[in-house]
């Protein structure tokens, strides 16, 4: 007589939710405000980079604030973070360059390092988390 493996619906649902949760990064990993601390363009350190902060919220929204010489530029949008792929997708609500895909090189409680490859240029940024 053969024995059949029986998995109850709640156990199956739990295992499925565990699998889905492990495939995409938790938005709370990024939650908070990150201030740009270093920037490179084509592997050359940018000494006079524009002050920049990213604020990520648990609801999938973010705010980018650039402190320009005469003004402050505030852009908002949605973000997704895929921990397994190391990808941070920013989708701005307005502007000409609305979708930007960053590669997350490093992320911990205090530091975020990202890279972006554009047409003819390569950007590396390092952020520190503000309290």
Mean pLDDT over 108-130 rounds to 96
- Of the candidates 58, 32, 59, which has an alpha carbon nearest to the alpha carbon of residue 127? 32
Rg (CA), the chain: 19
Mean pLDDT over 32-38 rounds to 97
Mean pLDDT over 45-50 rounds to 88
3-state secondary structure of 115: strand
CATH topology of domain 25-129: Lipocalin (2.40.128)
Exposed, middle or buried, 33 (CB in 10 Å: 0-12/13-18/19+)? middle
pLDDT bracket for residue 18 (50, 70, 90): very low
Mean pLDDT over 39-64 rounds to 94
pTM attached to this predicted model: 0.76
Distances (CA, A) of 42 to 45, 97, 109, 123: 8, 20, 27, 6
Mean pLDDT over 107-121 rounds to 95
Helices marked H in the chain — which ranges?
9-23
**Per-residue pLDDT at 8:** 54
């Amino acid at each position: 007589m053969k024995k059949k493996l029986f998995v109850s619906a709640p156990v199956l649902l739990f295992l499925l939710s565990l699998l889905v949760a492990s495939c995409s990064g938790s938005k709370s990993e990024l939650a908070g405000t990150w201030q740009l601390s270093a920037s490179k363009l084509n592997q050359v350190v940018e000494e006079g980079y524009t002050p920049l902060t990213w604020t990520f919220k648990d609801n999938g929204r973010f705010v980018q604030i650039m402190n320009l010489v005469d003004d402050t530029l505030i852009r908002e949008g949605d973000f997704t973070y895929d921990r397994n792929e190391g990808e941070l997708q920013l989708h701005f609500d307005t502007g000409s360059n609305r979708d930007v895909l960053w590669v997350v090189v490093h992320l911990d409680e205090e530091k975020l390092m990202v890279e972006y490859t554009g047409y003819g240029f390569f950007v590396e940024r390092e952020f520190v988390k503000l309290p």
